[in-house]
Structure 1
Amino acid sequence: MNGMKKTNSKRRRQKAESHNRTALESIEKATKLYQGVAVVNKFEDEAYNRVGYTIVSKFTPNAVDGSGAFRKAVVAVVKAAFDSIDLELHCGTHPRLRVVDHISFHPRAQTSLGETARLAKLVATDIGSSLQVPTSLYGAAHQEGKKLDLIRRQLGYFNPNSEGNQWEGALGSDCLPLKPDEGPYQATPTEGVVVVGATQWVDNYNVPIFTNKITAVRRISRRVSGRGGGIPSVQAMALAHGEDIIEVACNLLEPSKFIADQV
């Protein structure tokens, strides 16, 4: 972790697919093409069929122009995911929008949130124009600071489309209920939609509860979240995670104020 903290810019991305080794190798190979860019963490969850990567790079003066390696690497990773993953074959118990669910940029060291937001907006422009995929912005990258969870609700992120609280195949209509900030106004079943944002660092963790009573666990998760009257900067939701296990997934939006033990 010390090495990660020394980097100047950090990005997390969530991708829907953990069982396709060829796809993951293709995605990871994309980052190796750019000097100074590295994958420092890879989180695979078999039950959710989902993978999250943390990619870091120093923030340099050319990071936000066309020659910036970090900017190019992020777009290359997204393209590799689109090229290698067939969402029609995907199924899991974790919400997702489409192939590349979420890209979040976080400043580290001396990099400002404003600089990070500028980079996030340029990456969103690249995805929207070069890859022709609808892209929505949130946090400091959005002109009004729109929140990620609001965008997700508008796009139907939290609504399973299959029995057993499963998200399976492509999602519904190609006509989006939310106008994207970049790219076309219609999504394709193969790529879908991408959400890109910039915020200060967010802590994520999951608490496993050994039960199959998801309704009861949902009540618990709501009580600890800001929306349910709990800690304002905490987001929580209950998700089935294999047999007889339900996880409470937690996001701490202000980890400097509230730590996991308090939740």
Structure 2
Amino acid sequence: MASIYISAPISRETKAKQQKGKPRRREEMDLNPGCKDKKSIKQSMLLCCKLYISESRNHTALDSIERAARLDGETVIVNKFQDRAYNRIGYTLVSYIVHDSTGNIIYSPLQQTLLSMVEAAYEAINLELHHGAHPRLGVVDDIVFHPLARASLEEAAWFAKMAAADIGNKFQVPVFLYDAAHPMGKPLDIIRRELGYYRPNFMGNQWSGWDMPEVLSEKPDEGPTMVSRARGIVMIGARPWVSMYNIPIVSTDISAARRIARTVSARGGGLPTVQTLGLFHGEDSTEIACMLLEPNRIGADRVQNQVEMLAAQEGLDVEKGYFTDFSPEMIIEKYLKLISGAESH
């Protein structure tokens, strides 16, 4: 059984690093713990964190991770999406942000909850023993922060950078920052491509263990250049809301799925702001896994229609796609209900 880590008090050096570069609030944002009650703080300045872990079959490991998430009731899991074929799980966490009287960030309960879950994941999962149909570079594969309600992208990026420093240094894993958390705004897909994320290493369509160099040629943003084969690498970023939408294809022809995915994607000359992967998904199907970077501009219906058209040209049937998470509005609603329920007991 994995042990759950509760961090020691923050050092003076870490506190200084956290204060450096803190975003100041806009003047109209007057929330601070001295002038607003706790309920208004919990409802107004919200931070969402999506934590993707390379495991979905080991229930003991998942139970350990979820126990860690419950150590602090101020952070709630509003959604959990797991896929056995991909051997991957995604947690959607939400909590509030607290500022001081001058508008600077003090903390969010999400910080400690995230660290506890990461600790539990590293204790319970060994990447060398992992096998699945979804690409990954680490046990804790991806962490992304989204602002909700009245929070800003700048604040989400600040928390992403603090998480990167904590995780990289404490757990000695290389961390690469992306999007708003990266100094130059480097996109996630470019960093992943540089690190070999999209190259299957088993049967041409799956990922197994760790078979990349143990010394990175490119220095990570946090943590060592040496890679632990058991833990791998973690990506941490901040970005506006992104929708994840998967479209099943009733075929095991992975080459056809990849052709369709490529043609639909912006990179392949298809739909702008759409990123795709053609993935093997169980014994009788494949999927087009889609990342909609601007879902209000190019939505799921348009992507679905495009995939159906291209699949028909290949003589393949397509099922209705599905989202792997709720909309931001529904996530806020679920968070508020869960918090209200917890406080009424």
Instruction: Indicate the TM-score class for this superposition, using the shorter chain for normalisation.
Output: over 0.9
- 2:185 matched to 1:167? no
What residue in structure 1 maps to residue 296 of structure 2?
256
What residue in structure 2 maps to residue 47 of structure 1?
85
Q: For 2:190, what is the secondary structure of its paired residue?
A: helix
Q: Which structure 1 residue ranges, 4+ long, deviate > 3 Å from structure 2?
A: 62-65
| Rg (Cα) greater in structure | 2
Compute the TM-score of the two structures, normalised by the length of structure 2. Answer: 0.72
What residue in structure 1 maps to residue 221 of structure 2?
181
What residue in structure 2 maps to residue 83 of structure 1?
123
- 2:68 matched to 1:30? yes
What residue in structure 1 maps to residue 159 of structure 2?
119
Instruction: Say if 2:127 and 2:232, in contact at 8 Å, map to a contact too.
Output: no
Change (3 A) 1:43 1:17: same
How many pairs were matched up?
Answer: 258
Instruction: Give 1 or 2: higher helix fraction.
Output: 2
The residue identity in structure 1 corresponding to 2:117 is V
Instruction: Say if 1:64 and 1:118, in contact at 8 Å, map to a contact too.
Output: no
Deviation string for 1:116-163 (max 9, x for gaps)? 100100000001111111101001000100000011111111111112
Q: For 1:262, what is the secondary structure of its paired residue?
A: helix
CA distance in 2 between partners of 1:208 and 1:251 (Å): 15
Deviates more, 1:84-93 or 1:102-111: 84-93
Q: For 1:94, what is the secondary structure of its paired residue?
A: coil
CA distance in 1 between partners of 2:164 and 2:178 (Å): 11
Instruction: Say if 1:13 and 1:54, in contact at 8 Å, map to a contact too.
Output: yes
1:6 deviation in Å?
7.4
- Unaligned runs of 5+ residues in structure 2 are 1-42, 304-345
1:178 deviation in Å?
2.7
Instruction: Say if 1:97 and 1:171, in contact at 8 Å, map to a contact too.
Output: no
Instruction: Say if 1:210 and 1:245, in contact at 8 Å, map to a contact too.
Output: yes
CA distance in 1 between partners of 2:69 and 2:147 (Å): 19
What residue in structure 2 maps to residue 141 of structure 1?
181
Compute the TM-score of the two structures, normalised by the length of structure 1. Answer: 0.94
Instruction: Say if 2:51 and 2:144, in contact at 8 Å, map to a contact too.
Output: yes
1:175 deviation in Å?
1.1
- 2:47 matched to 1:9? yes
